[in-house]
Structure 1
Amino acid sequence: MQLKGEHLAAHLERELKPVYLVYGEEPLLVIEAADAIRASARRRGFDEREVLTAITGFNWNDLHHAAGNMSLFGGRTLIDLRIPSGKPGRDGSAALQAYCARPSPDSLLLVTMTAADWREEKAAWMTALAAVGVVVKLIPPGLGELPAWIAGRLARQQQRADAAGLRFIAERVEGNLLAAHQEILKLGVLYPSGALNPEEIRDAVLNVARYDLDGLRDAMLAGDVARLTRTLDGLQQEGEAPPLVLWAMTEEVRALAQISAGLERRQPLDALLKEARVWGARQAPIRRALQRVNGRRAQAALAQAARIDRMIKGLAGGDVWNEFLRLGVNIAVV
């Protein structure tokens, strides 16, 4: 059974399955979902808990032993299995499938991990977990959804903010839900329930945005020049290495150039995306960018990236960060 994160609480009120898999890119969401499952398990008599962490060298027989260990007091056990890499490997896959074939009636298996690529999502072990239990993929809110997410969190502590205040918080915590969570809790400590005015929010909320290369790519492909500029400024202030910035931007430009050339030859878009190794969630922003970036513009951007590379190597003069902005704007703007 596949379940969206927002439906987990209602599901746990109704029932408790023998196996749960919780995963996603944002640790905060994974932690909160796992905590909800643990709390529900405790209410239903799973009084004991065994934590297993599947790192390099982990013995997957421990999963079998944990399920077979009977409590001296007749209690039931929650097996808290963590897979930090998101890939159990061959032995882990076999062990998980074997467990799901005969789940223990006295154990509840909770598997958590912070990431899984599309190959793992189609793997036999994940299919086995979904068949006997629940798989919860937690998708973090996008930039446009973040104000509503913040508003929901404020409502939990009987506080609210207007649209401008919500946008202000969202911009300061961009890409960092854990920081957003901490700032929201801080507002709950500093101010009483009710409406928060803009001055209170500005005084309390720190600029804790996590500027990263994925955010830079997203902004460039989305055509969001304000976010692109803000992210480049943040990366520069945080001391990000220019070669890494150039690599991140050029990877997207190269994909756009390759796909645009194929479209001009009337090749099907789906095949071109596959050939350019554009998978999963990355396809949607690339498709949108292709609506404004033709082959000529993409090739010009590649030439511009080559000039920036010479600047980084000291073979040409100029301000590298200004050129990054120019390169990004050339892709972002219609």
Structure 2
Amino acid sequence: MSASIMKKYAKEPSVGTEELLVDESHQQLIALAKSSGFVEHHRLYGTEDLDQTKLQQLIINKGLFAEGTLIDFRLPEGKTGRSGATVLNNILDKLEQHSHIFFILSAHNTKGKLSTKWVEKIEKSGSHIQHPILNDTRKRQWLTHRLKIANITIEQKGQEFLLLLTEGNLLALEQQIKQLEISQLSNITVEELRKRFQDEARFNLFSLPEKIFNGQANRALRMCRKLRQEGEPLVLILWSIINELNLAIGLAELQKQQQSPSNFLKQNRIWKEHEATLYKLANKGLEKLYHQANTLHKIDKQSKGQAIGDGWLSLEKFIGELAIN
């Protein structure tokens, strides 16, 4: 989007389930908005911020020489609720009258939700960016592209090893590429990668969930604190734990429906040793697993500054309580 168009009026929804791609798109739009004079920045989050009065106050025209206002609104689940949809539609109508507003809406939208009125309204006067879920082929292409940007060469087997190690999660892949950049390695074989990840300190991120859900609280807490000292982002640590829990929930749901888990295990690249851990976790029951997932998502919000509290302390409390229960 050009600066001249932005000065007139812009609405940009950035949607999708690939968090890294959505976030990168988001950051580019924010940088472009700020460079074009939209200096005042307000970040809103979730349905609780879908408040008519609050949004109305942010878009009141401050006059001809006022700084532009950037409203950065994040709707993670893509859900507004009935009253929220009305508020959002009203606000989108008002935005057309205020050239000093740059509005970015980031939402997780499924195909069915893309036909909602507020999405259609955005498409009439703004741009709609959709980030689809990447399949295995696209993830390989993404990894090759990122490695090229980082000026790192990894043989094909090594790239497959990285994808398997991170279970294809783009955030985890990005973190590993950054660590390889720091290590100043450029031409890497799969053997070098395997040797690199044999170091327990570096592999803690992927073995931590097993220790947590097996009740090894003391060991898990030491690993967690070591990861923190090494500068591992909390959001990435939480991803590895939430991912393990989601796999267990998926397995438990299949068991409840008396369906074969073979395709599920194959699609998620779960090896035999990992199966035993997942079955043990799934057997704790869906109600308990759902409760644990809700707790982790609250901690994830804390880690991103979207909720009050210290995410690291909350995670340690979660680990301790899990060992007791």
TM-score with structure 1 setting the length: 0.59
CA distance in 1, matches of 2:63, 2:271: 53
**Structure 1 residue matching 2:270: 3-state secondary structure:** helix
Determine the structure 2 residue equivalent to 1:134: 127
Determine the structure 2 residue equivalent to 1:163: 156
The answer (yes or no) to whether the contact 1:187–1:201 under 8 Å persists in 2 is no
Determine the structure 1 residue equivalent to 2:19: 27
**Structure 2 residue matching 1:75: 3-state secondary structure:** coil
**Structure 1 residue matching 2:14: 3-state secondary structure:** strand
| Cα distance, 1:90–1:26 mapped onto 2, change above 3 Å | same
**1:230 and 2:224 correspond:** no
**Structure 2 residue matching 1:134: 3-state secondary structure:** coil
Determine the structure 2 residue equivalent to 1:240: 281
Determine the structure 2 residue equivalent to 1:154: 147
CA distance in 2, matches of 1:236, 1:129: 48
CA deviations on 1:207-256 (whole Å, 9 max, x unpaired) are 74745449879xx89969755662674354255314879xxxxxxxxxxx
TM alignment of 1:185-204, pairs within 5 A: 185-192=178-185, 194-204=186-196
Determine the structure 1 residue equivalent to 2:219: none
**Structure 1 residue matching 2:274: 3-state secondary structure:** helix
Pairing partner for 2:89 from 90, 94, 97: 97
Q: CA deviation at 1:146?
A: 1.9
CA deviations on 1:174-226 (whole Å, 9 max, x unpaired) are 1422111111111111124x422223322345474745449879xx8996975
- Partner amino acid, structure 2, of 1:163: Q
CA distance in 1, matches of 2:91, 2:277: 49
**1:112 and 2:106 correspond:** yes
- Partner amino acid, structure 2, of 1:241: A
TM alignment of 1:1-334, pairs within 5 A: 11=1, 16=6, 18-56=10-48, 58-68=50-60, 70=62, 74-102=66-94, 103=96, 104-113=98-107, 115-192=108-185, 194-205=186-197, 206=203, 208=206, 210-211=243-244, 212-213=246-247, 227=267, 230=270, 233-234=273-274, 236-237=276-277, 239-242=280-283
Which has the larger share of helix? 2
**Structure 2 residue matching 1:126: 3-state secondary structure:** helix
The answer (yes or no) to whether the contact 1:20–1:110 under 8 Å persists in 2 is yes
Q: CA deviation at 1:76?
A: 0.4
**Corresponding residue pairs, total:** 231
TM-score with structure 2 setting the length: 0.61
| Cα distance, 1:189–1:140 mapped onto 2, change above 3 Å | farther
Q: CA deviation at 1:32?
A: 1.2
Q: CA deviation at 1:73?
A: 6.5
- Partner amino acid, structure 1, of 2:281: E
State which structure, 1 or 2, has the greater radius of gyration over its C-alpha atoms: 1
The answer (yes or no) to whether the contact 2:44–2:74 under 8 Å persists in 1 is yes
CA distance in 2, matches of 1:14, 1:148: 34
Q: CA deviation at 1:139?
A: 1.8
**Structure 1 residue matching 2:136: 3-state secondary structure:** coil
| Cα distance, 1:26–1:232 mapped onto 2, change above 3 Å | farther
CA deviations on 1:56-82 (whole Å, 9 max, x unpaired) are 474233222211152897210110112
The answer (yes or no) to whether the contact 2:139–2:168 under 8 Å persists in 1 is no
The gaps in structure 1 that reach 5 residues or longer are 1-10, 246-334
> What root-mean-square deviation, in Å, do the aligned CA atoms of Structure 1 and Structure 2 show?
3.3
The answer (yes or no) to whether the contact 1:47–1:77 under 8 Å persists in 2 is yes
CA distance in 2, matches of 1:166, 1:243: 35
The answer (yes or no) to whether the contact 1:47–1:76 under 8 Å persists in 2 is yes
Determine the structure 2 residue equivalent to 1:300: none
The gaps in structure 2 that reach 5 residues or longer are 198-202, 207-239, 255-259, 287-325
Determine the structure 2 residue equivalent to 1:248: none
The answer (yes or no) to whether the contact 1:97–1:129 under 8 Å persists in 2 is no
**Structure 2 residue matching 1:230: 3-state secondary structure:** coil
Q: CA deviation at 1:93?
A: 1.9
- Partner amino acid, structure 2, of 1:230: I
- Partner amino acid, structure 2, of 1:108: F
CA distance in 2, matches of 1:189, 1:50: 34
